[in-house]
């Protein structure tokens, strides 16, 4: 909606233009009328629409043609004033003033025109019979008002209609010649209908209609009023009401009826509430709220409410309830968009089912990826779906969480983030793309059927770290060693992939690591890809294992996607764990780093577990109840470790993360309380765990 309205009054001399303005301001007919009134500004709190209004007068005696043309180009609405008792002034409306206005305005954005018949107090008849053919001939004419500056008749109404013609114009909504709404208006209202159809059954039921009414007009419809609306639709439109609900056909008919009866403001209120501007396009302020600020080293994620909203959108379009969106269902979901936002590459970025359809997990993953990489695009997409309206939030920015600085996470040795980025480096042909696609559960056979033009340099899915679901975002970096942007280096973990069967492949990984990541705190992991092929000695000064030991990295991880079933995902869990706990420096006692022993050993040696273990062990020794042997006995230590693991896993899977963190800080006090209840340490430990 415009922030102000500029009204220009034009017409032949002596028709009463200046008298109309002065009568409005002083609320009485002026005894002395100047040639031209000065520009008047009416404050917003005085006008019905709460918008400041500027009223500009024109005088042929005091202004040139150039000045008139300038005023016409600046006006939002033009009132052509004629005297109802002066036939010549009426004829001049079509012979002079309308052509002059059209010559000085853009053809694609005509300025609305109001015809004003002044001096109605001097005649007993109306001029409407003469004016109606003129109104039918020129579509830019909004309405005609007969008034009297002397008797103050319809003076306020005149300027109200002029203001209304600007704030609630008919032109973008309705074509009077064809007596139907314009395509742009139908398109905008159709989107509003689909957003308001919360169950996607093609009908607005009573609950949805009341939600729509509260959203637009801050008040629900009474039951009888709701039935009256439906009855009006039933009488005029076939299939306008179905199953006691309003169809799209009936919804469009109602707004056509509002417009035809001069209630344009009703339709405009609905359009603007759902984000439309004066051209019936979604307003930029609606799509891109300015309240979101993202400091450096922070990332953007969707919060819980946003995921719930997206889940409801998925559920209402998954008509066959197979937890996947077919091409038709996906097209229906994005029907409220002006374009298709997801291309064929998305199917190679997220998880799909056997038919290649995006699954529920893949759907949420793609939204997570968009939020992480381009939060403004995510805000735009949420705006098309009507997030702020359906979720009753001020804007789409309420769906976004800005994470804290990564430096703080490193200092506190814990993170609240849910999305972790892993940049994949490797020479051409090393197997990077295969590594990405394997994360989505695709073996080499499934990868070979993917068109190269639809390949993606990203892959995102979920991984579980100690029972917590996290998103791992893999990004394949183009193998240009000499040019690595800041974005290529900014990640949570680096994955260096080399072809174990190519003797020249490892050198690229070693050079990238030494030049860009050796002196950073970013954890790195070597991947020996194509491990199903014959391993070849790498032509480098150090073997990959020696290189990793020298630089305190985990040993190279053997990997292949040439499997009969979906490739193993253990390595991706390892990557997510390292990204989530970069300070932990997880170690492994053997070189495989894939077996159960290795996973448990890494878990036991992690800093969090060691801290809890030390607190609990100190609490037990302080009571001297658990072990009768000396505290440095191997039997005591092993028995304690067994009991401790039972305790830790029980607590971890029964507490929420924030509760568990608080519990860890007070574990010694809690366990001492349990010991005080029983002299039997085993019974106390069991009581403590349960």
d(CA 22, CA 149): 9
Share of the chain above pLDDT 70, in %: 83
Is the pLDDT score of 671 beyond 50?
A: yes
Residues 350, 354, 359, 362, Cα dihedral to 10°? -10
Is the pLDDT score of 270 beyond 90?
A: yes
Check: CB of residue 83 under 8 Å from CB of residue 98.
Answer: no
| Strand-pair partners of 528 | 498, 558
pLDDT tens for each residue of 202-223: 999 999 999 999 999 998 888 8
d(CA 449, CA 355): 13
Is the pLDDT score of 357 beyond 70?
A: yes
Two structure tokens written together for 256: 């056509």
Q: What pLDDT does residue 629 have? A: 44
Distances (CA, A) of 552 to 497, 519, 548, 579, 675: 17, 12, 6, 16, 42
Two structure tokens written together for 468: 């917590």
Mean pLDDT along residues 182-200: 96
Check: CB of residue 330 under 8 Å from CB of residue 323.
Answer: no
Is the pLDDT score of 330 beyond 90?
A: yes
Listed in sequence order, the residues at least 6 apart from 441 whose beta carbon sits closer than 8 Å to its beta carbon are: 351, 566, 567, 569
**Whole-structure pTM value:** 0.78
d(CA 317, CA 330): 8
Mean pLDDT along residues 403-419: 90
Two structure tokens written together for 641: 């470790």
CATH architecture of structural domain 286-403:
Orthogonal Bundle (1.10)
Mean pLDDT along residues 402-422: 91
pLDDT tens for each residue of 168-183: 888 889 887 788 999 9
End-to-end CA distance of the chain: 62
pLDDT band, residue 688 (cuts 50/70/90) = low
Q: What pLDDT does residue 591 have? A: 40
pLDDT tens for each residue of 567-598: 989 999 999 999 998 866 554 434 444 555 55
Q: In which element (H, E) is residue 446 found? A: helix 444-447
pLDDT band, residue 410 (cuts 50/70/90) = confident
- Evaluate whether the domain defined by 177-281 bears CATH number 1.10.238.10: yes
Q: What pLDDT does residue 455 have? A: 86
d(CA 174, CA 290): 33
Q: What pLDDT does residue 35 have? A: 87
pLDDT band, residue 674 (cuts 50/70/90) = low
- Ordered by start, the domain boundaries in the chain are 5-167, 177-281, 286-403, 416-580
pLDDT band, residue 623 (cuts 50/70/90) = low
Average model confidence (pLDDT) across the chain: 86
Is the pLDDT score of 599 beyond 90?
A: no
Mean pLDDT along residues 48-72: 89
Say if 286-403 and 416-580 have the same CATH topology. Answer: no
pLDDT tens for each residue of 487-538: 778 899 999 999 999 999 999 999 999 999 999 889 999 999 999 999 999 9
CATH number of this structure's domain 416-580, picked from the four choices 3.40.50.1260, 3.40.50.300, 2.40.50.100, 3.10.520.10? 3.40.50.300
pLDDT tens for each residue of 136-148: 888 888 889 999 9
What would the CATH number be for the domain defined by 5-167? Answer: 3.40.50.300
| Strand-pair partners of 292 | none
Is the pLDDT score of 297 beyond 80?
A: yes
């Amino acid at each position: 909606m415009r922030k102000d309205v500029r009204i220009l009054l034009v017409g032949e001399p002596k028709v009463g233009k200046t008298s109309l303005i002065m009568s409005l301001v002083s609320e009485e007919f002026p005894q002395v009328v100047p040639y031209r009134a000065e520009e008047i500004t009416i404050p917003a709190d005085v006008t019905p629409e709460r918008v400041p209004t500027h009223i500009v007068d024109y005088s042929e005696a005091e202004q040139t043609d150039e000045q008139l043309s300038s005023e016409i180009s600046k006006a939002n609405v033009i009132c052509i004033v004629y005297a109802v008792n002066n036939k010549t002034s009426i004829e001049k409306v079509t012979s002079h003033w309308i052509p002059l206005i059209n010559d000085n305005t853009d053809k694609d954005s005509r300025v609305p025109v109001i015809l004003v018949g002044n001096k109605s107090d001097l005649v007993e008849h109306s001029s409407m019979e003469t004016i109606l053919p003129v109104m039918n001939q020129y579509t830019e004419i909004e309405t005609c008002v007969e008034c009297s500056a002397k008797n103050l008749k319809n003076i306020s109404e005149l300027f109200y209609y002029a203001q209304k013609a600007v704030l609630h114009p008919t032109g973008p909504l309705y074509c009077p010649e064809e007596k139907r709404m314009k395509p742009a208006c139908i398109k905008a209202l159709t989107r509003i209908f689909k957003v308001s159809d919360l169950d996607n059954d093609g009908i607005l039921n009573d609950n949805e209609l009341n939600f729509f009414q509260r959203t637009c007009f801050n008040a629900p419809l009474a039951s009888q009023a709701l039935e009256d609306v439906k009855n009006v639709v039933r009488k005029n439109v076939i299939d306008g009401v179905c199953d006691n609900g309003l169809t799209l056909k009936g919804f469009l008919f109602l707004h056509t009826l509002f417009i035809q009866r001069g209630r344009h403001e009703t339709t405009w209120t609905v359009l603007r509430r759902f984000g439309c501007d004066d051209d019936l396009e979604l307003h930029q302020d609606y799509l891109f709220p300015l309240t979101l600020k993202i400091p450096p080293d922070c990332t953007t994620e969707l919060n819980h409410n946003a995921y719930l909203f997206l889940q409801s959108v998925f559920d209402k379009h998954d008509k066959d309830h197979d937890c996947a969106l077919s091409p038709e269902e996906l097209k229906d979901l994005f029907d409220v968009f002006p374009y298709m936002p997801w291309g064929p590459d998305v199917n190679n970025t997220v998880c799909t089912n056997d038919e290649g359809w995006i699954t529920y997990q893949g759907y949420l993953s793609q939204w997570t990826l968009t939020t992480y990489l381009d939060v403004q695009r995510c805000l735009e997409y949420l705006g098309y779906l009507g997030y702020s309206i359906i979720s009753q939030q001020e804007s789409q920015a309420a769906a976004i969480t800005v994470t804290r600085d990564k430096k703080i996470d490193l200092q506190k040795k814990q993170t609240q983030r849910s999305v972790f980025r892993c940049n994949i480096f490797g020479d051409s042909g090393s197997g990077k793309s295969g590594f990405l696609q394997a994360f989505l559960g695709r073996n080499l056979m499934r990868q070979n059927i993917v068109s190269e033009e639809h390949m993606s340099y990203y892959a995102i899915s979920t991984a579980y770290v100690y029972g917590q679901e996290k998103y791992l975002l893999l990004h394949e970096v183009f193998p240009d060693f000499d040019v690595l942007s800041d974005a290529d280096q900014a990640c949570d973990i680096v994955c260096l992939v080399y072809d174990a069967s190519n003797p020249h492949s490892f050198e690229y990984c070693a050079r990238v690591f030494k030049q860009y990541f050796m002196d950073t705190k970013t954890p790195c992991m070597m991947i020996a890809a194509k491990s199903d092929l014959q391993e070849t000695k790498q032509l480098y000064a150090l073997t990959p294992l020696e290189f990793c030991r020298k630089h305190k990295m985990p040993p190279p991880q053997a990997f292949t996607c040439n499997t009969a079933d979906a490739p193993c995902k253990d390595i991706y869990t390892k990557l997510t764990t390292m990204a989530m706990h970069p300070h932990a420096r997880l170690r492994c006692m053997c070189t495989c780093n894939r077996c159960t022993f290795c996973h448990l050993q890494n878990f036991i040696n992690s800093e969090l577990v060691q801290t809890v273990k030390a607190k609990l062990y100190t609490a037990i020794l302080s009571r001297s109840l658990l072990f009768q042997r000396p505290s440095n006995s191997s039997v005591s230590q092993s028995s304690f470790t067994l009991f401790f693991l039972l305790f830790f896993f029980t607590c971890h899977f029964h507490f929420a993360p924030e509760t568990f963190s608080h519990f860890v800080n007070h574990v010694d006090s809690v366990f001492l309380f349990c010991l005080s209840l029983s002299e039997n340490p085993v019974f106390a430990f069991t009581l403590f765990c349960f």
